């Protein structure tokens, strides 16, 4: 099967020649330049022959054009940190201006997409990382300030969320025009450790849906990523996406539990925090096989629960890739 055929068969719940696999990492320094990021992405894809590519821009890329100030660490693994937030007072939400997706950092991401599509020629499904409005808002203001504004300035915060939502829609649609197959929609706030369901419905879900609705007619492979622990999995089951990814080795539900309540694909199986950092080849292989067993190989894309560290050695990634190559339809022997 081609990569596209394999992904589409997986989405539809049909038999595949083997489960699809993908994983992703950041490319510090390269992600500041569209040509370098495109080249690093292509090299990573060529090295591991993954079934889809998740674009990995700088983790703050979506909010830098609003004037967020960052500091660059000497240690490349740390990427960049925030040195000065944009939002300090509730009134600052009303001062946010809609972003032009063709300018600044966002425009550089579109340029990276154009380079990738020219090189890939449609051979590999491509998804762009998009952050939820509440996630972007937290990067603009800081987590403590967001929590304060949720309670003490909800209307002004919602004004900011509306501006962020529209800017995100404009950027996502621009990515669609440049050939992406879908978005990797990441929310870091759909967690019971952070918010109640009622609060997330009001300040998270309604804005998330606006963005996903805006792209779903022109895309075929949208992924929801629920970040962190104690996630609101059931609350987000009705999102218009084809796949869901979460830290399945660290928090409920398991892949097996999720596949019984969700009709799309599940992406996971690889523990990005422990096994992919320090596990043996046998442990990595066992996790791949366990993921296949839990789902019976149906509607499963093997991948990490979240982004891999930049220093995960190539042999661990190759171990996961080789374990997939050995997987056969209907063959679920844990001793393979």
Domains of the chain as residue ranges with CATH: 3-325 (3.20.20.210)
pTM of the model: 0.95
Q: Nearest CA to 72 among 58, 62, 86?
A: 58
Strand partners, 131: 186
Q: Nearest CA to 305 among 241, 223, 212?
A: 223
**Cβ atoms 314, 308 nearer than 8 A:** no
Region 198-218: mean pLDDT is 98
* Strands 126-131, 53-54: pairing kind: parallel
Buried b (16+ CB within 10 A) or exposed e, 232-245: bbebbeebbbbbbb
pLDDT digits (tens, 9 = 90+) for 226-282: 999 999 999 999 999 999 999 999 999 999 999 999 999 999 999 999 999 999 999
Asked whether residue 75 carries a pLDDT value surpassing 70, the answer given is no
pLDDT digits (tens, 9 = 90+) for 115-170: 999 999 999 999 999 999 999 999 999 999 999 999 999 999 999 999 999 999 99
Q: Which pLDDT score, from 0 to 100, does residue 81 have? A: 85
| Helix or strand run (H / E) with residue 222 | none
SS3 assignment, position 224: strand
How many helices (H) and strands (E) the chain has is answered by: 12, 9
Residue 66 sits at φ, ψ, to 5 deg, of -85, 0
**Cβ atoms 184, 119 nearer than 8 A:** no
Q: Which pLDDT score, from 0 to 100, does residue 308 have? A: 97
Q: And the tokens for 306?
A: 């979240």
Dihedral-angle region of residue 212 (phi above 0 means left; psi in -120 to 50 means alpha; beta otherwise): alpha
**Rounded distance between C-alpha atoms, residue 3 and residue 301, angstroms:** 12
Asked whether residue 332 carries a pLDDT value surpassing 70, the answer given is no
286: confidence class by pLDDT, cuts 50, 70, 90: very high
Name the H helices within 104-251.
104-120, 133-141, 143-152, 154-177, 197-200, 206-216
pLDDT digits (tens, 9 = 90+) for 230-243: 999 999 999 999 99
Q: Which residues, at least 6 apart from 260, have a Cβ–Cβ distance to it below 8 Å? A: none
Q: How many CA atoms lie within 13 A of 62 on its CB side?
A: 27
pLDDT digits (tens, 9 = 90+) for 93-109: 999 999 999 999 999 99
- Residue length of the chain: 336
In the predicted model, what is the mean pLDDT of the chain? 95
**Rounded distance between C-alpha atoms, residue 1 and residue 250, angstroms:** 32
* Strands 182-187, 223-226: pairing kind: parallel
| Helix or strand run (H / E) with residue 36 | helix 34-48
Buried b (16+ CB within 10 A) or exposed e, 288-315: bbbbbebbebbbbbbbbbbbbeeebeee
Asked whether residue 212 carries a pLDDT value surpassing 50, the answer given is yes
């Amino acid at each position: 099967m081609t990569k596209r055929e394999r992904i589409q068969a997986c989405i539809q719940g049909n038999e595949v020649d083997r489960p699809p696999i993908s994983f992703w990492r950041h490319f510090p320094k390269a992600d500041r330049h569209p040509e370098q990021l495109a080249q690093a992405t292509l090299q990573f894809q060529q090295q591991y022959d993954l079934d889809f590519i998740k674009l990995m821009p700088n983790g703050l890329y979506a909010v830098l054009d609003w004037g967020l100030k960052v500091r660059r660490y000497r240690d490349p693994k740390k990427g960049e940190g925030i040195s000065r937030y944009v939002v300090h007072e509730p009134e600052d939400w009303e001062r946010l201006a809609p972003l032009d997706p063709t300018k600044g950092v966002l425009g550089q991401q579109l340029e990276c997409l154009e380079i990738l599509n020219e090189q890939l020629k449609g051979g590999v499904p491509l998804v762009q990382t998009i952050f939820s409005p509440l996630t972007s808002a937290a990067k603009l203001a800081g987590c403590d300030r967001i929590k304060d504004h949720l309670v003490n300035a909800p209307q002004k915060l919602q004004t900011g969320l509306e501006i962020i939502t529209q800017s995100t829609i404009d950027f996502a649609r621009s990515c669609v025009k440049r050939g992406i197959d879908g978005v990797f929609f990441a929310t870091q706030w759909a967690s019971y450790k952070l918010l109640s369901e009622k609060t997330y419905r009001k300040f998270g879900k309604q804005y998330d849906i606006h963005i996903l609705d805006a792209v779903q007619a022109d895309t075929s492979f949208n992924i929801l990523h629920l970040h962190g622990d104690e996630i609101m999995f059931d609350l987000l089951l009705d999102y218009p996406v084809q796949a869901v990814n979460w830290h399945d080795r660290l928090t409920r539900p398991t892949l097996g539990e999720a596949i019984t309540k969700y009709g799309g694909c599940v992406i996971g199986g690889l523990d990005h925090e422990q096994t992919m950092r320090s596990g043996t080849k046998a442990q990595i292989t066992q996790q791949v096989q366990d993921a296949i067993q839990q789902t019976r190989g149906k509607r499963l894309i093997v991948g990490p629960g979240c982004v891999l560290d930049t220093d995960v050695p190539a042999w661990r990634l190759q171990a996961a890739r080789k374990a997939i190559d050995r997987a056969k339809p209907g063959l679920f022997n844990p001793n393979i």
